[in-house]
Structure 1
């Protein structure tokens, strides 16, 4: 009965914030409102964490104790750009102990909901804000450079250990999870947020604290190992150029000494124009790129036209992956080695 009562209260609260968020009127019910107002904000139960995209969900999963609940909002196969939360997503956000998101304008509807519906019991963790990468107010959808305009909107002519490397410091590239060095910095705030969620769900035992600390250390080491693998594999290929589907790879390229010669979809939610395609073909030939890197979230017809016209192969780089962040990143590394080595 206690569990059933909590579900009733939480459902009413979620419906209320959903109406506020999307502007849909709900029938007034004074008795229900009184019950919701007098109900506790959080009853004991499983820790509830919401992550906006699969990579953040996968990193969070590495830290979760048994029984914790994790919901990833973006469905598999969808691009992270232009995502609109569903009513079920809004309800999950309303009930969450922790919401993990990227920031930098990548999930504007989620950020809007969190700002309009603040909660003293919920931790809203932006990866970008925790790494002090906030500050740009650009319209991410319209400020990427066109194919061949290296350095714009995530294209990289820069090679350094600066976490902002790989773009022109105008629009800030929001694909921060693709840089293992930034991910390593994010482990601590992410682990702290998971700790909050577990404590919000009920008292934490000494054994649970020990396990969470071990999971934190294990994740940090896995990210360190991944960074070392990327460095060792890509150092011999430093200075080589890649052509990508959209401006997701500037940070990774800049971190490991690569250059983004062209981007096929400067505007993520729009198909490539003839000018984009022509620019990409020219960039492949001028920079000696060995492959066109497509993404499974986008139609690859334009990329195939570029690859055929330039006489290079077409390979896959996946910025989102599935339930295992490290499998995604290592698969991408293999693709980069294949394309850059001209195999």
Structure 2
């Protein structure tokens, strides 16, 4: 009898555990809200600001996550399936998720916000003019197209709250314009010869174009690209020739590549320091200033200016 009771208790506990696990894997839908799933945090931030109280946002890629290499988990697929709307960057940023988006788009709106930017405003790869730089959030003018894309899609899905979405979008765009003005004022303190931004991969092209900064990345537009000794040596020579004093690491990329550049410069007799950590493909921790798009952007501005001026 005791053995039977023990077995029954064990079975009951197993059912409870499995049930809890299933509940944790499901999106807890808040009544009356539009459930939106996004890839990178920068897009999630747009949806939170534009959608306000009318949306429930599920972001797939958190702090320190590299979207170029990201492989969706079963839990991610479930979040995508349960969403009312899906927003991703596109332009091959989330390259390993393209097939997933293609399949899910047959059942619900799946929007690549990067596709809203006019092609003539995009930067292209030198070796392939048809492939564009996906890091559009580093140019606030371009990122404004993404804000409008999110607003329009929310209105299309939820006409009842159109006025709120329009009001929220206008307020958010005003805040972005203020950050852009702040960036231009701060970068005016960096002398012309010191306006060189060296990072692990080439994520800051739009940033450099917007603020007249020469950007050099050890790897290409994607962290999936390989780099070799020749690439390191070329960057080291440039640092020495232009007397660049600082290089930067990225929160979502291993520091190993930039450390190789620092060591290479040292062997050449040129001292280069790590100017700080920048947020490139991922934002900071949830609940911190850097965990918002505006906070991340201002952090990058302040870190770069402090190291280069």
Shorter-chain TM-score tier: 0.7 to 0.9
Does the 8 A contact of 1:100 with 1:126 survive in 2?
yes
Is 1:274 matched up with 2:229? yes
Query: Which residue is 1:256 aligned to?
Result: 211
From 92, 105, 108, the counterpart of 2:79: 92
Q: Mean alpha-carbon deviation: is it higher for 225-234 or for 168-177?
A: 168-177
Counterpart CA distance in 1 for 2:151 and 2:205 is 27
The gaps in structure 2 that reach 5 residues or longer are 1-21, 23-30, 285-290
Q: Distance in 2 between matches of 1:180 and 1:329?
A: 10
| 1:48 alignment counterpart | 35
- TM-score, L = length of structure 1: 0.69
- Matched residue of 2:76: which SS? helix
> How far 1:88 moved relative to its partner?
1.3
SS in 1 for 2:118: coil
Once the two structures are TM-superposed, the CA of residue 196 in structure 1 deviates from its matched residue by: 3.6
In structure 1, what is the Cα distance between the partners aligned to 2:123 and 2:105? 34
Question: Are positions 1:179 and 2:139 aligned together?
Answer: yes
Distance 2:232 2:205 in 1: 19
Give 1:90 deviation, angstroms: 1.1
1:312 match: 272
Q: How many Å apart are 1:57 and its aligned residue?
A: 0.8
Question: 2:123·2:133 contact (CA, 8 Å) conserved in 1?
Answer: no
Aligned residues: 264
Q: Which has the higher helix share?
A: 2
5 Å matches for 1:84-233? 84-119=71-106, 122-133=108-119, 163-164=121-122, 168=126, 170=129, 171-199=131-159, 204=160, 208-233=161-186
C-alpha contact 2:189 2:305 (8 A) present in aligned 1: no
Residues 303 and 127 (structure 1), Cα distance of their counterparts in 2 relative to 1, 3 Å cut: same
Q: Structure 1 residues 307 and 277, CA, compared in 2 at 3 Å: closer, same or farther?
A: same
Deviation, 1:302, is 3.1
Q: Secondary structure at the match of 2:148?
A: helix
- Give the whole-Å Cα distance in 2 for the aligned partners of 1:79 and 1:118: 23
Alpha-carbon shift at residue 272 of structure 1 (Å): 4.6
Distance 2:139 2:51 in 1: 22
CA distance in 1, matches of 2:146, 2:62: 23
> Is the contact between residue 48 and residue 69 of structure 1 (CA under 8 Å) also seen in structure 2?
yes
Distance change >3 Å, CA 73–CA 197, structure 1 → 2: farther
User: Does the C-alpha gap of structure 1 residues 301 and 118 become closer, same or farther in structure 2, counting only changes over 3 Å?
Assistant: closer
Q: Which runs of 5+ in 1 are unaligned?
A: 1-10, 12-43, 134-161
For residues 139-195 of structure 1, give each alpha carbon's deviation from its aligned partner in whole angstroms, at most 9, with x where no partner exists: xxxxxxxxxxxxxxxxxxxxxxx7335864734111011111101222211111223
TM (norm. structure 2) is 0.77
Q: Deviations over 1:222-264 (max 9, x none)?
A: 111111112222245456222111010011101111112x322
Corresponding residue of 2:59: 72
Bigger mean CA offset, 83-92 vs 61-70: 61-70
Native 8 Å contact 1:166 1:254 kept in 2:
no
